Structures are given as structure tokens and as C-alpha cells.
């Protein structure tokens, strides 16, 4: 049985917003997070993503969610792959769409929104908001400063109840 290589999270948390924000106009757009499966992944266009999300969708231990806006549910702004570890949620992968990356990104707040979603699920499932992920070494301090994430050991980081509440309230206005 082959073990899959662990890929550290390397998404930039550019800004914590209340939804997502157009980086050019400052206009805010309400977001929707919805679960994808093998039958509902038709908006994931191959070549527009670094990770092969169809492979992630094929693994039964994975839950893949898409971030869209209320006004345009066909355009995916970001994707997140989660695993339920029965006492916390583990973020396996998270990615912004190509148009939300780099210096000329169109929308801010995508990464924060996806991390907040993981925290929301961790509350809903009775895990007190606990979320863990493996960070790229160069981003450990970034996640500490932007999300309040705590460094556990090695590349492992986690969000505790207090910081999860902050994120969930920021994006979903409830615990």
C-alpha cells in the first residue's frame, strides 16, 4: 500500500474580510461554500488548478468544498480538501483559483474564508473548532500572524477554539 506524499499548505492569507473583496474596487461579495463530489465537480477546469482536485474527490476520506459567490455560483474562487479525524478537522489541501493568486489577484479573503469554513465544520461536528494543517516552513510565522494558528511541531499547525471563533464570526457571524 503506497502512502501519498503530504503536501504542506502554502496559500497566502492576504486579508481577513467578511466575505471576499474585489482587490481593485473594494466591493464585497457574499460567499457560499458547498461540498463537491464526483458528480458536481463540473466547474473544476483541468489546468486552472495546481492540484488535481478530481483525484482528491475520488478518495472517500476526503471532503472537497468550493467557494463561490451568491451572485455567481458557477465561478469557483477557491477549493479546500478536508479530512474528519474524529476529534478535529484536518486541512489536506487549500487553493485559490488562478485569478485570485499573485500581485494582480481579483479577490481578497479567499484563503481566510476557506480556513473559517474548516473551523465552522469543526464546531458543528463537536470538535470545539479545532483545525490542523501542515504548513510550508516559510509560512509558519505568516499563519501565526494572520490566523492566530499555533505551531505544534515540525510542519504541523493548528487553530484552537479561541482563534476558530474569531474566524467563524468574521466570515459566518456565528459560532
Distance from CA of residue 104 to its chain's centroid? 20
Q: Give me the residue spans of the domains in the chain.
A: 20-172
Q: According to the model, what pLDDT value does residue 127 have?
A: 98
List the 20-22 sheet strands across, edge first. Answer: 28-29, 20-22, 107-108
Any long-range contacts for 103-107 (C-beta under 8 Å, 24+ apart)?
A: 105/14, 105/23, 106/22, 106/23, 106/24, 107/20, 107/21, 107/22, 107/23, 107/29, 107/77
- pTM here? 0.92
166 against 1, higher pLDDT: 166
Q: According to the model, what pLDDT value does residue 175 have?
A: 36
Per-residue confidence at 8, pLDDT binned at 50, 70, 90?
Answer: confident
Render pLDDT for 90-131 as a digit per residue (tens, 0 to 9): 999 999 999 999 999 999 999 999 999 999 999 999 999 999
**Residue 4 above 90 pLDDT?**
no
Closest CA to 120 of 158, 172, 81: 172
Q: What is the DSSP string of 56-120?
A: HHHSTT-EEEEEEETTBTTS--EEEEEEE-SSSEEEEEEEE-GGGSSTT-SEE-HHHHHHHHHHH
Render pLDDT for 134-144 as a digit per residue (tens, 0 to 9): 999 989 999 99
Render pLDDT for 50-89 as a digit per residue (tens, 0 to 9): 999 989 999 999 999 999 999 999 899 999 999 999 999 9
Strands 89-96 and 131-134: parallel
Query: Where does 20-172 sit in CATH, by number?
Result: 3.40.630.30
Amino acid at each position: 500500500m503506497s502512502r501519498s506524499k503530504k503536501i504542506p499548505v502554502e496559500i497566502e492569507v492576504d486579508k481577513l474580510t467578511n466575505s471576499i473583496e474585489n482587490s481593485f474596487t473594494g466591493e464585497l461579495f457574499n460567499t457560499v461554500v458547498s461540498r463537491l463530489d464526483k458528480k458536481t465537480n463540473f466547474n473544476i477546469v483541468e489546468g486552472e488548478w495546481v492540484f488535481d482536485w478530481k483525484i482528491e474527490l475520488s478518495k472517500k476520506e476526503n471532503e472537497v468544498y468550493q467557494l463561490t459567490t451568491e451572485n455567481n455560483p458557477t465561478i469557483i474562487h477557491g477549493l479546500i480538501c478536508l479530512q474528519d479525524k474524529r476529534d478535529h478537522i484536518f486541512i489536506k489541501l487549500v487553493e485559490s483559483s488562478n485569478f485570485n493568486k499573485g500581485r494582480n489577484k481579483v479577490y481578497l479573503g479567499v484563503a481566510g474564508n476557506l480556513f473559517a469554513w474548516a473551523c465552522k465544520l469543526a464546531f458543528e461536528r463537536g470538535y470545539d473548532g479545532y483545525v490542523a494543517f501542515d504548513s510550508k516552513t516559510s509560512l509558519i510565522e505568516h499563519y501565526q500572524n494572520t490566523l492566530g494558528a499555533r505551531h505544534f511541531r515540525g510542519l504541523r499547525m493548528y487553530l484552537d477554539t479561541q482563534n476558530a471563533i474569531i474566524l467563524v464570526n468574521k466570515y459566518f457571524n456565528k459560532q
